[in-house]
Amino acid sequence: MTTATTERTTADRVPAATLRDEVNRMMAVLEKGGVALVPLDVAYGIVAMREAGIRKIFDAKQRSYDKPSGMFASAPLSSEIHVMEPAKHAMVREMIAEEGMPFSVVAPFRADHPIMRGVDPFVLQSSSKAGTLDMLLDAGQFHDEIARQVLERGTAVFGSSANTSLTGSKYRLQDIDAPVRAAADISFDHGRSLYANPEGRSSTIIDFRDFTVVRKGVCFDRLSTAFMRRYKVELRLIPGKTAGL
């Protein structure tokens, strides 16, 4: 008789000291221009901090520079850096605290914020678009420790899904495409991403200027219901523009 084993997931609790140590090691690599593969609830991500690392990511993913990287962040960071009405900042805080779902916020940002002033010009150019910045929020414990250290250290981390561009997200470290894995100087394996799904979707990206949806993402249906229930706000899909993955 065999006993079934439960696969580890990114939601399985990791001691705070272990997370701090892992992210400390990751930050040391990124500060030198390196690249890291990181476990997120939405999908495995690939991140960097310096121009050399960001270029390496775009090359490995075969990603167009028309598609900016996102910043790994938190509600407090968004509140400091994103330029939005107080009611919208309150929405972000409440959705994370009370609904507990990952999503990305796109909004205008303060380029004069101390953290943003420290970003390499090329990195800022490739991580922003038309004066807006995409911030990924609430994407699991490893992500949240990155965001905590970003705020503590005053240095930004940027990245995207660890996959060849437009081929769907990867939910296990071993499933990441070989060229993308080869681009990483350090990687962390926390098992299967919590929101692994057959469609290959990652985080939902919402443009908070008008609540249009840049990418549906894995939690879109639940997020859409919550925004309508709480705020009577419709998350609007734009035919021909909203990306499925």
In a domain, 2, yes or no: no
Per DSSP, 169 falls in state -
In a domain, 70, yes or no: yes
In a domain, 5, yes or no: no
The predicted structure's pLDDT at residue 132: 97
In a domain, 180, yes or no: yes
Q: Rounded CA gap, 156 and 133, in Å? A: 12
pLDDT band, very low/low/confident/very high, at 4 (cuts 50, 70, 90): low
Tell me the pTM.
0.94
In a domain, 7, yes or no: no
Q: Rounded CA gap, 26 and 40, in Å? A: 14
The predicted structure's pLDDT at residue 6: 87
In a domain, 11, yes or no: no
In a domain, 108, yes or no: yes
In a domain, 143, yes or no: yes
- Per-residue pLDDT tens over the stretch 210-224: 999 999 999 999 999
Question: How many separate domains does the chain show?
Answer: 1
Q: Are 106 and 208 in contact, with CB atoms under 8 Å apart?
A: yes
Per DSSP, 37 falls in state E
> What pairs with residue 197 in β-bridges?
none
The predicted structure's pLDDT at residue 66: 87
Q: What CATH number should be reported for the domain holding residue 197? A: 3.90.870.10
Strands (E), the chain: 35-38, 45-48, 70-72, 103-108, 128-129, 132-137, 158-161, 186-187, 205-207, 212-215, 236-237
29 lies in which domain range?
16-237
